[in-house]
Amino acid sequence: MPNQLAGETSPYLQQHAKNPVDWHPWGEEALTLAKREGRPILLSIGYSACHWCHVMAHESFEDAEVAAVMNHLFVNIKVDREERPDLDQIYQTAHQMLTGRAGGWPLTMFLTPEGAPFFGGTYFPKAPRYGLAGFPDLCQRVAEAWRDRRGDIEQQNSELLKALAAGAAARPLSGELSAAPLKLAVERAAQSYDAEFGGFGGAPKFPHPAELELLLRRHAATGEARCGKMALHTLRCMAEGGIYDQLGGGFSRYSVDERWAIPHFEKMLYDNGPLLRLYTDAWRVSVDPLFKRVTEETAGWVMREMQSPTGGYYSSLDADSEHEEGKFYVWTPAEVSRYTTAEEYAVIAAHYGLEQPANFEGRHWHLLVALPLADVAASLRRSIEECEGLLKSANEKLFAAREARIRPGRDDKILTSWNALMIEGMAHAGRVFGRDDWLASAHRALDFVRKDLWKDGRLLATSKDGHAHLNAYLDDYAFLLKAVLELLQADFDGELLAFADALGAALLTHFQDPAGGFYFTSHDHEALIHRVKTGHDNATPSGNGVAAYALQRLGHVTGDLRYTEAAECTLRLYFPDMARQPGGFASLLTALEEAITPPAIVVLRGPRVQLADWKRKTAAHDWPWALTLALPEDAPGKLPVLLDKPLKDHVNAWVCSGVKCLEPIDDYSCLERVCKTPELI
Model confidence over 610-625: pLDDT tens digits?
999 999 999 988 778 8
Task: Kindly report the average pLDDT of the chain as a whole number.
Answer: 95
If one counts the domains in the chain, the total is: 4
DSSP secondary structure letter of residue 309 = T
Among the candidates 561, 579, 596, a domain finishes at 596
Q: Are 250 and 301 in contact (CB under 8 A)?
A: yes
Spatial separation of the C-alpha atoms in residues 407 and 677, rounded to whole Å? 50
What's the average model confidence in pLDDT over 484-510? 96
CA 452 to chain centre: 21
Calculate the CA 566 to chain-centre distance: 24
Closest Cα to residue 540, out of 226, 182, 232, 82?
82
Percentage above 90 pLDDT, the chain: 89
Alpha helices in 340-435 (DSSP H): 342-352, 373-380, 384-403, 416-433
pLDDT at residue 475 greater than cutoff 70:
yes
> H or E stretch including 414?
strand 414-415
Instruction: Pick the last residue of a domain from 563, 596, 629.
Output: 596
User: In CATH, what number is assigned to the domain containing residue 77?
Assistant: 3.40.30.10
Q: What is the CATH number of the domain that holds 400?
A: 1.10.10
32 and 65 in a single domain? The answer is: yes
**Burial bucket for residue 174 (CB in 10 Å: 0-12, 13-18, 19+):** exposed
Terminal Cα-to-Cα distance of the chain (whole angstroms): 68
Pick from 13, 2, 3: which is nearest to 470 by CA? 13
Q: Which helix (H) or strand (E) holds 601?
A: strand 600-606
d(C-alpha 595, C-alpha 567), whole Å: 8
Determine the number of helices (DSSP H) and then strands (DSSP E) in the chain.
25, 20
Q: Smallest Cα–Cα separation from 634: which of 605, 664, 603?
A: 605
Count of positions (residues) in the chain = 681
What is the C-alpha separation between 452 and 355, in angstroms, rounded? 51
The residues pairing with 678 across neighbouring beta strands, listed in sequence order, are none
For 222-235, b/e burial (b = at least 16 CB within 10 A) is eeeeebbbbbbbbb
CA distance 620 to 615: 9
Beta-bridged to residue 626, according to DSSP, are 600
Q: In terms of C-beta distances under 8 Å and separation of at least 24 residues, what long-range contacts does 141-146 make, across chains too?
A: 142/40, 142/73, 142/110, 143/40, 143/73, 143/74, 145/118, 145/119, 146/40, 146/110, 146/118
pLDDT at residue number 637: 62
pLDDT tops 80 at residue 679: no
Instruction: Say if 6 falls within a structural domain.
Output: no
State the Cα–Cα distance between residues 246 and 226, nearest whole angstrom. Answer: 28
Band of residue 515 on the pLDDT scale cut at 50, 70, 90: very high
Q: Is residue 174 part of a domain?
A: no
Asked whether the beta carbons of 135 and 126 are under 8 A apart, the reply is yes
Q: Could you tell me if residue 175 is inside a domain?
A: no
pLDDT at 680 over 70: no
| Pair 127, 28 in one domain | yes
- pLDDT tier for residue 678 given thresholds of 50, 70 and 90: low
Each residue's pLDDT tens digit, 622-644? 778 889 999 988 776 678 888 88
CATH number of the CATH domain containing 501: 1.50.10.10
Strands 458-464 and 467-471, how do they pair? antiparallel
pLDDT tens profile 476-496: 999 999 999 999 999 999 999
Asked whether residue 587 falls in the same domain as residue 604, the answer is: no
Arithmetic mean of pLDDT, 54-75: 97
Same domain, 550 and 435: yes
4 located within any domain? no
For residue 681, is pLDDT > 70?
no
Does 467 share its domain with 568?
Answer: yes
- Residue 5 domain-assigned? no
Answer whether residue 3 is part of any domain: no
- pLDDT beyond 90 at 39: yes
Q: What would the mean pLDDT of 459-471 be, rounded to a whole number?
A: 97
Return the bridge partners of 43, or none: 77, 109
**Contact present, 550 and 478 (Cβ < 8 Å):** yes
Q: 291 pLDDT exceeds 90?
A: yes
Of 168, 194, 219, which residue constitutes the final position of a domain?
A: 168
CA dihedral 385, 390, 396, 400 (to 10 degrees): 180
**Please, where are the H alpha helices in 331-383?**
333-339, 342-352, 373-380
Beta strand 23-25 pairing with 75-80:
parallel
Is the residue at 392 inside a domain?
yes
In a domain, 400, yes or no: yes
* Structural domain boundaries, residue 674: 600-680
Same domain, 191 and 302: yes
Mean pLDDT across the stretch 435-460? 98
64 in the same domain as 40: yes
Note the Cα 110 to chain centre separation in Å. 29
DSSP for 233-269 reads HHHHHHHHSTTB-TTT--B-SEESSTTS-SEE--EEH
**Which neighbouring-strand residues pair with 77?**
24, 43
Q: Across residues 502-517, what is the average pLDDT?
A: 97
> What local confidence, expressed as pLDDT, does residue 398 receive?
98
Q: What is the pLDDT of residue 52?
A: 93
Using a pLDDT cut of 70, give the percent of the chain over it.
99
Distances (CA, A) of 472 to 30, 422, 457, 526: 22, 17, 12, 11
pLDDT at 381 over 80: yes
CA separation (Å) from 405 to 157, 366, 398? 50, 16, 11
pLDDT computed for residue 480 by the predictor: 98
Q: β-strand 316-317 against 267-268: which pairing, if any?
A: antiparallel
Q: Is 140 exposed, middle or buried (0-12, 13-18, 19+ CB in 10 A)?
A: middle
Instruction: Return the pLDDT at 660.
Output: 82
Q: CB within 8 A of 532, min separation 6: which ones?
A: 86, 89, 90, 93, 168, 519, 520, 521
Taking the CB of residue 155, how many other CB atoms lie within 10 A of it? 11
Task: Note whether 427 and 541 are same-domain residues.
Answer: yes
Pair (461, 312) in one structural domain: yes
Q: Is the dihedral of CA 469, 473, 475, 481 positive or negative?
A: positive
Check residue 130 and give its pLDDT: 81
SS3 state at 9: coil
Looking at residue 356, its pLDDT comes to 96
What is the amino acid identity at position 13?
A: L
Stated as kind and residue range, the H or E segment containing 162 is helix 150-168
Same domain, yes or no, for 301 and 425? Answer: yes
Q: Does 446 lie in the same domain as 540?
A: yes
Asked if 312 and 346 sit in the same domain, the reply is no
The HSE-up count of residue 137 (CA atoms within 13 Å, CB side) is 9
